[in-house]
Amino acid sequence: MPAISPLVDPELVAGLEALPFRDFSAGTLSAVRAVLAEGGQLQREQTAADGVRVAEKAVPRDDGGTVRVLCYQPERPPAQMPVLLHIHGGGLVSGTPEAGYAAAVRAVQTYQCTVISVDYRLAPEAPYPAAIDDCYTVLAWLYAQADTLGIDRNRIIVGGESAGGGLAAALCIMARDRGAIPIAHQMLTYPMLDDRTCVRETITHTGQYVWTRESNRFGWQSYLGQAPGGEGIPAHAAPGRCESMAGLPPAFIAVGALDLFLEEDVSYAMRLIAAGIGVTLEIYPGAYHAFTMFTETKAAKKFQSDWNYAFARAIAPATAQP
């Protein structure tokens, strides 16, 4: 890791020094996956899920396989709940839905909603379109099963962090293009949107920590099955390439000022705004990628407050919107 820049929020320096790994590559992937899986399992074991019923379900795929999901609901569910379809991060090559266990439980407890988190297939073993197909399979399933699940079909929110945020954005594009399932809002936390960041000149002090340019190249190469930044890559794979933003749902986009994804995320937000889409864009000074994992810092608490406010607005019935 390079010397820590004075631009880093002082509260976030200790987090950098405690990171268990420094990069994502073919040589480190197995170890990274093991660390993230263990962390997710510990989170599941240590989170008090009072008032929340958590179930694992297997959603059928068209090819005969299944997609594992974690379904979180109130023990005494209200009628017609909003639903958050959550997609975990991990650079498209790692991660599990258990990584969002505490946040999902908190959302259900706070908002009396349903959260469904997707255990999508990972690259490089399962390259594009496996992950986005799994996410759409779950979206179609929860829409079809809305009455059984107690879900309001008009209040479907999709969201995720990092690669999960990118998949959430791609899912909104896919849903719009197919025209069968309405998505009310997208909650994108430092989303991984554009493979062209791998080849374009970017701000030199972004991407030095946690998710580097080298890791980004490895993640995109693994997912796309080809060198990132080339021609012919569809928006369902890299949503930053979407040519028309018309008809996409409103968005909450949050990113740190030192995150490699800063430019692509701000560009995506501005293009949504130019298309007349409602956008909340939050940028956190001194914050690098995945800073939200350090929950006791002021930056992470500010993010959580911003996310809560945006989510509460997103799930409010249309008649309750100001």
Contacts of 27 (CB under 8 A, 6+ apart): none
Q: Which of 9, 134, 194, 259 is catalytic?
A: 259
- Reply yes or no on whether 185 is catalytic: no
Residues 295 and 170: their CA atoms lie apart, in Å, by 28
Residues 273 and 214: their CA atoms lie apart, in Å, by 31
Residues 94 and 164: their CA atoms lie apart, in Å, by 11
Helix, coil or strand: residue 222: helix
Helix, coil or strand: residue 155: strand
- Reply yes or no on whether 162 is catalytic: yes
- Reply yes or no on whether 259 is catalytic: yes
Q: Which of 117, 162, 215, 222 is catalytic?
A: 162
Contacts of 68 (CB under 8 A, 6+ apart): 56, 57, 58, 59, 97, 119
- Characterize the bridge pairing of strands 52-60 and 66-74: antiparallel
Structure tokens belonging to residue 77: 């569910």
Contacts of 309 (CB under 8 A, 6+ apart): none
Q: Which of 86, 88, 185, 289 is catalytic?
A: 289
User: Annotated active-site positions, please?
Assistant: 162, 259, 289
